[in-house]
Chain A
Amino acid sequence: MDMKKTGNILFVILVALMISSCHKQEEFDNDPYGNFDALWTNVDEHYCFFKYKNVDWVEIGRRYREQLRPGMSSTALFDVCAEMLKELRDGHTNLISAWDVSRYWIWEQYPKNYDERIINQYYLNFNYKQSSSIKYTILSNNFGYMYYGDFSGAIGEGNLDNILAYLAASDGLVIDVRDNGGGFLTNVEKLVRRFITERIHAGAISHKTGPGHDDFSEPYDYYFDPVDDTRIKYLKPIVILANRSSYSATNNFVSIMKCLPNVRIVGDTTGGGSGLPFTYDMPNGWTVRMSASEITDPNGVVTEFGVEPSPGCKVDMTETEMAMGIDAILEKSFDVLEMMINE
């Protein structure tokens, strides 16, 4: 083989390799059909609960695409896309434009089951302490009370030491996470580590490994370790208060705490949201957020549709009780704590 021929072959191989690594990316037009197809494809390739929810995404896409018209307005296109996304029944799935955010916030239709004013006025007497994002006190019945309203809110280890040192004198603890819509999972770990004495199985995570609906990694078990002995822990009976607005990271917190022997969940089923959301954008600049990575609870259960209260602990707040300044869920938690102490 002469040098020229060898050189040509090497050149062809190099070009072939360049083409193989420079992978062609599908592009969509910035018109109603292009944007719809971009949205549908984003969800098709990344959404993680098609199988769990038995959703036929191809059929849904075909049905909603028929509603498109050339030159339709952006608001009309948004409405069609938003309705299509609602078929996923997922609070983590939103279509975000400059003028609206589509949502499937089913919890808005359930009893609210939380009124901050009732807690502050009738149980805390407007007299409570606040450290970082947590307000806390010891109630007149000697039960501790902590309210954490946002898992995005910073909590430092020093803050937790001070809070739990103060609450150490209580007989039991109420952790209220009602209306907590979620935030950082790292804060879940930070909080749970204060209530355990040994390593616990916190759950399992699996992620998409490719665009196919069945392309998932093996679930990866993850664990939480207790804080070291120089930090303050709380190991007495604990009741978690939850409602339908306890969502996402809060749902994760409740699902892990529920598996601890000294913990009961009181109130309503949580809002769910066990998928980690990822965000992608479309040619017209709208973004779609969707569940892309699945987290199960320590028992391997998907809690996408919520974590139920402990047996016998389901309580709804009635209008009559609320008018009288009674938080029926908090009242129930006192009974449960008394029962746990006497067990």
Chain B
Amino acid sequence: MKRIYSLVFSLILCMGCNIAGAQNCCDSLKRDVALPVISSYMVDFGGASVLDTYLSPIRYTGLNLRIGYERLQAMKFNPEKWINQLEAGIDYSPAENPAKNHTIHTLMVDLKWGMMHRWRMRQVDGLQLFGGGSTQLRGGALYAPANSNNVVSVKINWSIDLTGMAVYNKRIGRLPVTFRYQATLPVLGVFYSPEYGESYYEIYVGNRSGLVHFGWVGNRFALTNLFTADMHFGGTTVRIGYRNVTETSWVNNLNTQIFRNSFVLGLCGEWLSIRPGSKLSEKARIISAMY
């Protein structure tokens, strides 16, 4: 028992030393390092394919529109090696059946926060690799106005994800361009699904059993691939890209498959906030999250 106490004490001591070290590091960073925020506002437009057998056994296809925001910043405790990413967006997809006489409207909102470790590849100038994790909350509904008691399929999902990113800064002619590929794979989480033929009236009168499910890649597979090219025109950056989103689930004998392929158009800026009255030190090193 005494040995266990000693071990725990040693661990706490080590952590304390690390925190103290990090604090010292931060104090010096405050003076010498500036961590700009890369803010991006994006619009996606493309196509969607929607299958949700709670609503229909038929696959619907149509448009996909998304308005999104992304924020990237190197993290204070170790800005060379760690960055954080915040993303939020709203997707809307009006999709039609093959006969073109019914529509399913899909509206989804998502919020994601993650941390990634950075490796600068010395072998290839301008190449950085990132790997880490994120957590995201995604919710919304599919609405089939032609249906009766199965008129809506609610989707709520919280997940812990693996995420990886490759960034390559390169000049094309005189134009600096940042190429980027990022993949995000939810691996664990919880999600909501009604049972096979369960009405929302039954849920309303109190039967809430079997609605929340433990999610993993075996019953809920989702993957987001994002390719972008950020073209830096002076202080303004124009982003063009492509986003591919796969969301599938198989639970309670209900099959959901939503695929989105969209072009991405965005405006980005790298911002540095400085306290009024203070100046950025001439020696200050600016560490960008990605550029």
Q: What is A's interface to B at a CB cutoff of 8 Å?
A: 14, 17-18, 20-23, 25-27, 30, 38, 41-42, 46, 48, 98, 185-186, 202, 205, 207-211, 215, 217, 220, 222, 276-285, 287, 289, 292-293
Contacts and interface: CB of A to CB of B under 8 A. Distances in A.
Q: Of residues B102, B197, B252, which shows the largest number of chain A Cβ atoms within 10 Å of its Cβ?
A: B197
Q: Of residues A26, A30, A287, which shows the largest number of chain B Cβ atoms within 10 Å of its Cβ?
A: A287
A48 B198 CA distance: 12
Interface string B254-279: 01010000000000000000000000
B101 interface: yes
B1 interface: no
Q: Of residues B101, B147, B205, B252, which shows the largest number of chain A Cβ atoms within 10 Å of its Cβ?
A: B205
A54 B259 CA distance: 41
B169 to A, nearest CB: 29
B202 A209 contact: no
A209 B199 contact: no
A22 B248 CA distance: 6
B217 to A, nearest CB: 4
Given A220-B206, A278-B199, A281-B97, 17 more contacts: A17-B216, A21-B220, A26-B57, A27-B59, A207-B199, A209-B197, A217-B198, A277-B149, A278-B148, A278-B197, A279-B144, A279-B146, A279-B148, A279-B150, A281-B58, A285-B97, A285-B101
A231 to B, nearest CB: 20
B23 interface: no
A38 B206 contact: no
Contact of A20 (B99, B149, B195, B218): B218
Given A186-B204, A209-B197, A278-B147, A21 B217 contact: yes
Interface string B194-213: 01111101101111000000
A25 B57 contact: yes
A209 B147 contact: no
8 closest Cβ pairs, A-B complex = A285-B99, A208-B197, A21-B221, A222-B205, A279-B147, A23-B250, A220-B207, A285-B101
A20 B207 CA distance: 28
Contacts of B150: 278-280, 292
Contacts of B53: 25
Given A17-B218, A17-B221, A22-B248, A30 B146 contact: no
B249 interface: yes
A38 B99 CA distance: 14
Contacts of A220: 202, 205-207
B205 A205 contact: yes
Contacts of B51: 25
B100 interface: yes
Contacts of B101: 98, 285
B197 to A, nearest CB: 3
B219 interface: yes
A279 B196 CA distance: 13
